[in-house]
Amino acid sequence: MKKSEYELRKIYAGVFDKSTLLSLERLMRGGYLEELESMISTGKEANVYHGCMGEKEIAVKIYAIDASSFKNMEKYILGDRRFKTWRNRRQLVYTWAQKEYKNLARVHGFIECPRPHQAYRNILVMDFIGRDNIPAPRLKDSPPKNPKEYFNKIVGYIRGMYERGLVHADLSEYNVLNTGEKPVIIDLSTGVLLDHPLADKFLKRDIYNICRYFRSEGVDCDEKEVLAEVKKISRGNF
């Protein structure tokens, strides 16, 4: 641990509440985090930070307890048999962090996505996608050189997630990182199992978003054909 709890509190005073600071300290004691170094991105739901554990670069996603956008998250959790009900906003946010951890663990190794290391309360520790403290750009900011090939890779990822019993439920050019012409899927907190009551609707929306983006890049793609290709994959019980 390179920074003491006092130093950590001083650096992030006014950014994190006491509970989040204590959670960071616990992750440090557990060997999942050594130091937070810089901010990668900010959002309505969470901030993502670059950190390190020894020589390894990691990403630390911290969900804001009081973020107003969390009012829409219930539709992604209700109907998910993996999670119980919650009593308050804090428990809902903790469940959201666990949801992203479980979704990443479910599909990592089958698609390109960050490998999750640990989730504790409102904090998720995972692989850093980038190099030397510089995060990989989002697809919206870094269009592919070969759009058709790139499109086929993402469709393969959608198919891979479906085969593992998961639908991303918020897939677009905003949730794909472009790492040297290799897409990496991120932000899987919205992901739902196939038996979720809205899974089919979310899958169609994911495919629509991806086809919309790649049509703007000159790719001739048909949403119905992509949906049929994804659904024809045989799968087990998840």
**What are the beta bridge partners of residue 39?**
49
Catalytic residue among 66, 80, 132, 170: 170
d(C-alpha 164, C-alpha 203), whole Å: 14
Contact 107, 160 (CB under 8 A): yes
Per DSSP, the three-state class of 66 is: coil
Q: What is the DSSP string of 77-125?
A: HTT-TT----SSHHHHHHHHHHHHHHHHHHHBTTBS-PPEEEEETTEEE
Residue found by looking up tokens 């001739």 in the block: 220
Catalytic residue among 187, 195, 200, 222: 187
**What are the beta bridge partners of residue 48?**
41, 61
User: Catalytic annotation on 170?
Assistant: yes
Determine the residue type at 79: G
Q: Is 179 exposed, middle or buried (0-12, 13-18, 19+ CB in 10 A)?
A: middle
Neighbours of 226 (CB within 10 A): 22
Q: Is 192 exposed, middle or buried (0-12, 13-18, 19+ CB in 10 A)?
A: buried
d(C-alpha 178, C-alpha 105), whole Å: 21
Catalytic residues: 170, 187
